[in-house]
Chains A and B, each alone.
Chain A
Amino acid sequence: MKAIVTVMPKPSVLDPQGAATAEAMKHLGLESVGRVRVGKSIEIEFPSAPDEAKLHEIARDLLSNPVIEDYSIQIL
């Protein structure tokens, strides 16, 4: 089994990386581009169904920083 934890900067946090990426997209001809946010995706493999409560705890305490980021978990 696999869990994918997606970590994104909070909307209130300045994301200069996203802004620079949006500019580059415009240069490449995608002029209709709106706001771009850059986050990260963490893939975690498990031999069997993971302990979801523990996974949330780890996503909150280690994989993301709640001051600046939000996370979501997808289990495949």
Chain B
Amino acid sequence: MKFAVIRFPGSNCDQDCLRALQTFEGASADYVWHKDSSLAGFDVVVVPGGFSYGDYLRCGAIARFSPIMAAVKKFAAEGGPVIGICNGFQILCESHLLPGALVRNRDLHFICEHVHLRVENASTRFTRTLSQGDVLRIPIAHGEGCYFADDATIEKLEAENRVLVRYCNARGEVTPEANPNGSRNNIAGICNEAGNVFGLMPHPERACDALLGSTDGRAIFQSLLSV
């Protein structure tokens, strides 16, 4: 299975993603430059973290208009799996591939730490090697990761079971204290209606090697490989 890791000017988790993916049996990965316009030959698209276009205007706002994003939208519309991590999640929201937006963290700080996530839906192609209620320990690193959407959108996401991971404490309890950034309903990651586009603020690629303190992120990539 071949992963495309999109590189924008200012992406900085592209190498982490590529390196993490290369440790999986059956996976290969290559970079795709933002000025390219084709994803031919790729099976999965990864929109990595970073500060695309310096986060000018709004996080992800300018990346949305990159030539490659037209190809990503087409790839997603045809059912191809797309995962957006951190800035990648912001880009997918700005591109309307996912609903809502990521705004400044509640306490205005840039937060870089390991957090706990509860798996809320384990029947998607991104979570199928996990079980509902599993608690993952994965790092976050963002200043604008507070998930916001209007009431109707939040209700729809919840009703359709599209919140895949939620911030929780080590015991798996979803509490206000376990919410690092003020996201509505402790939302850490959501998928689109068709279930083939997933965006999350935490970095699973930074939790793929025991040397980095956790290997809990592996299950997400492993799920994509377990067709």
Which residues of A does B touch, CB under 8 Å? 9, 12-14, 16-17, 20, 62-63, 65, 67-68
Inter-chain contacts of A65 with B (CB < 8 A): 58, 61, 94, 101
Give complex CA distance A16, B57 in Å. 18
Give the dominant DSSP class at B's interface: loop
Q: Do B100 and A63 have beta carbons less than 8 Å apart?
A: no
Q: Do B57 and A63 have beta carbons less than 8 Å apart?
A: yes
B104: which of A12, A16, A62, A63 is its contact (CB, 8 Å)? A16
Inter-chain contacts of B149 with A (CB < 8 A): 67
Give complex CA distance A13, B101 in Å. 11
Q: Do A14 and B146 have beta carbons less than 8 Å apart?
A: yes
Q: Do B61 and A16 have beta carbons less than 8 Å apart?
A: no
User: Which residue of A has the minimal Cβ distance to B65?
Assistant: A62
Q: Do A13 and B148 have beta carbons less than 8 Å apart?
A: yes
Inter-chain contacts of B107 with A (CB < 8 A): 16
Q: Mark B27-65, 1 if CB is under 8 A from A, else 0.
A: 000000000000000000000000000000110011001
Q: Do A67 and B100 have beta carbons less than 8 Å apart?
A: yes
User: Which residue of A has the minimal Cβ distance to B93?
Assistant: A67
Q: Do A14 and B58 have beta carbons less than 8 Å apart?
A: no
User: Which residue of A has the minimal Cβ distance to B153?
Assistant: A67
Closest CB-CB distance, A34 to chain B, in whole Å?
A: 20
Inter-chain contacts of A14 with B (CB < 8 A): 103, 106, 146, 148, 182
User: Which residue of B has the minimal Cβ distance to A16?
Assistant: B108
Give complex CA distance A61, B104 in Å. 20
A12: which of B99, B105, B150 is its contact (CB, 8 Å)? B150
Inter-chain contacts of B58 with A (CB < 8 A): 65
User: Which residue of B has the minimal Cβ distance to A42?
Assistant: B57
State which residues 149-173 of B face A: CB under 8 Å: 149-150
Inter-chain contacts of A9 with B (CB < 8 A): 103
Q: Do A62 and B103 have beta carbons less than 8 Å apart?
A: no
User: Which residue of B has the minimal Cβ distance to A66?
Assistant: B101
Closest CB-CB distance, B23 to chain A, in whole Å?
A: 36
Q: Mark B75-109, 1 if CB is under 8 A from A, else 0.
A: 00000000000000000011000011101111110
Inter-chain contacts of A16 with B (CB < 8 A): 104-108, 182
Inter-chain contacts of B148 with A (CB < 8 A): 13-14, 67-68
Q: Do B103 and A20 have beta carbons less than 8 Å apart?
A: no
Q: Do A62 and B106 have beta carbons less than 8 Å apart?
A: no
Give complex CA distance A65, B104 in Å. 14
